[in-house]
Amino acid sequence: MTDNNQPKTYDLKGRVITVKVGELQSYVPSADYTTRVGEVTYKLMKEAEEKFNCKFEFEVIPKWATVNNDFLTYTLAGLVYADVVRLQRSVIFPSYEKQNVLLPLNDYIDFNQPVYKKFDQINGILYPENIYGFFNGTPLTPIGIFYNREVLYRDGIPDLHEYAANGIWNWNTFLDICIKTTHDYNGDGIIDQWGIGSPNAQYTSICMLRSNLQPIIAWAGGSNYVYNLQNHKALKVLQFITEMYNTYNVVNKNGEADFLKGKVAMFFREAWYGEMLINNGMRNLGFEELPVGPDNPGRAFMREQGSNFFFFPSTLKDPEGVVNAVAHWNVIWDDTKSEYVTLEDMVLSQAQVYFDSETEINRFMEMMNYKVEYDYIDYFSPSKTRITSRVFDEIAKDQISTASAVESVKNEVEAIINDKMSK
């Protein structure tokens, strides 16, 4: 482990470092780069080969599942499938971590160095106590609320940024806005304008759970994970969702179509969705973080969680030099290197694609610096869609009580957790 700001340099004596990636999610640095990130990555990889006296060889595997399965099979047998393997985080955790087939990088790199200060912003794998992988690319974007300024203005609602800036962007103000912007203009019993929309009830529910810091599956220490929806704080969220859909009737169920038509004031979605909205003619578009739940003492910041990382097998021979050589071309935001891309520039390049106003670009930049709260449901796929959609759809349709809904899938969720952790 290093004791200064500069990583060690190792002489790998001409070693060939093998890297395997799946075809569908392949990432092979190339001289035919089309982006600044690609340019920097390629140049730093070539620099790493010279500095560490090594050579990187990439192999693209036609079937993605083959990479995951073969990595596990080889490593459990004490063999080296490849020195570095690009794997999908949601597929390999938590079972791969439990089986000790992943090399913890904390043993070879000091992540307290200044250069790694913003590592989580690039979605480094902290799981739950060790960092296991390198992600090379732009940071994954926040999930929040798009809003139509014209609709809010028409109903006398201040800009949502003002609520956040004044520390009053919470469930109470959110619901109040939803109610004030939901209208049956002609009195025919059909809602003409809605307060909030979402792709589906599952999406709404996950966003609101996250706003109150309530995961569907929570880490309970060690290799223990628990079904969390019966927690009273989670039940509070689900009751609030029931009221949004049924008591107050403020949630539009027609996906994004009505938001594009100006019939919805606010809409839950990933920040990258702004590009599509703007390309479809939306203007006066705002984007804000999720409203803070009553049990959340901080901010309600949520980010996409799916991505692919470069991992190392626990059977790797002489790992320290290999790990640091790979780090050299993956940690592309390190301004001590000959080539680099600042995190700020990477985030700014995203913001300029997603938004068309300086106000939204600046707000997006602020949001990208917030601490991310994760839900371990993402590591137990495919349970997420199959189970949660059933629970949340039933709650949204008022077909069942919240307590009964979460109880109905408890055994199934726990069985999935046990099955995943037993492999």
Lowest pLDDT segment from 120-129, 307-316, 363-372, 411-420: 120-129
Q: What tokens were used for 57? A: 């060889």
Q: What tokens were used for 139? A: 């940071």
Q: Which residues of 78-112 are buried (b: 16+ CB within 10 A; e: fewer)?
A: eebbbbbbbbbbbbbbbbbbeeebbbbbeebbebe
Q: What percentage of the chain's residues is helix, strand, coil (to nearest 5)? A: 45, 15, 40
Q: Does residue 79 register a pLDDT over 80?
A: yes
Lowest pLDDT segment from 119-128, 164-173, 256-265, 326-335: 119-128
Q: Calculate the alpha carbon distances from 356 to 198, 259, 269, 276 in Å.
A: 22, 18, 17, 12
Model confidence at 82, in pLDDT bands (50, 70, 90)? Answer: very high
Residue-wise DSSP of 339-405: S---HHHHHHHHHHHH-SSHHHHHHHHHHTTSPP---GGGGGTTHIIIIIHHHHHHHHTT-S-HHHH
Helices and strands counted in the chain (H then E): 18, 13
Model confidence at 384, in pLDDT bands (50, 70, 90)? Answer: low
Q: How far apart are CA 219 and CA 406, in angstroms?
A: 18
Most confident range, picked from 12-26, 191-205, 366-380: 191-205
CA dihedral sign, ordered 165, 203, 239, 396: positive
By percentage, how much of the chain surpasses pLDDT 70? 89
Give the pLDDT confidence of 227-251 residue by residue, as tens digits.
999 999 999 999 999 999 999 999 9
Mean pLDDT over each residue of the chain, to the nearest integer: 87
The average pLDDT across 78-89 equals 91
Place of tokens 């990583």: 7
Name the more confident of 150 and 134: 150
Place of tokens 């690319």: 137
How many Cβ atoms are within 10 Å of 363's Cβ, its own excluded?
22
- Common-topology check for domains 15-139+306-341 and 142-303+356-422: yes
Q: Does residue 372 register a pLDDT over 80?
A: no
Model confidence at 122, in pLDDT bands (50, 70, 90)? Answer: low
User: What residues have CB less than 8 Å from 230, skipping those under 6 apart?
Assistant: 403, 406, 407, 410
247: closest CA among 395, 388, 144? Answer: 395
Q: What tokens were used for 288? A: 């804000």
Lowest pLDDT segment from 172-181, 237-246, 390-399: 390-399
Pairing, β 308-311 against β 84-88: antiparallel
- Tell me the pTM: 0.83
The pLDDT value recorded for residue 51 is 95
Pairing, β 308-311 against β 133-134: antiparallel
The average pLDDT across 190-219 equals 92
Classify 221 in phi/psi space as left (phi over 0), alpha (psi -120 to 50) or beta: left
Q: Does residue 2 register a pLDDT over 50?
A: no
The average pLDDT across 328-354 equals 89
Q: Does residue 315 register a pLDDT over 80?
A: yes
Q: Does residue 1 register a pLDDT over 50?
A: no
261: closest CA among 356, 150, 396? Answer: 150
Model confidence at 99, in pLDDT bands (50, 70, 90)? Answer: confident
Is the CATH number 3.40.190.10 carried by domain 15-139+306-341? Answer: yes
| Phi/psi at 348 (5° precision) | -60, -40
Give the pLDDT confidence of 281-298 residue by residue, as tens digits.
998 999 999 999 999 988
Model confidence at 120, in pLDDT bands (50, 70, 90)? Answer: low
The pLDDT value recorded for residue 4 is 46
Q: How far apart are CA 221 and CA 228, in angstroms?
A: 14
Strand (E) or helix (H) holding 162: helix 160-165
Model confidence at 119, in pLDDT bands (50, 70, 90)? Answer: low
Q: What tokens were used for 113? A: 């160095």
User: SS in 3 state form for 247-296?
Assistant: HCCCEECCCCHHHHCCCEEEEEEECCHHHHHHHCCCCCEEEECCCECCCC
Q: Does residue 3 register a pLDDT over 50?
A: no
Place of tokens 């800009």: 159
Model confidence at 116, in pLDDT bands (50, 70, 90)? Answer: confident
The highest-level CATH class for domain 142-303+356-422 is alpha beta
The pLDDT value recorded for residue 344 is 84
Lowest pLDDT segment from 75-84, 120-129, 274-283: 120-129
Q: What is the DSSP letter of 123?
A: T
Strand (E) or helix (H) holding 56: strand 54-61
Give the pLDDT confidence of 39-78 residue by residue, as tens digits.
999 999 999 999 999 999 999 988 777 888 899 999 999 9
Q: Does residue 319 register a pLDDT over 90?
A: yes
Locate the domains of the chain by residue range: 15-139+306-341, 142-303+356-422
Q: Calculate the alpha carbon distances from 100 to 95, 221, 411 in Å.
A: 9, 16, 27
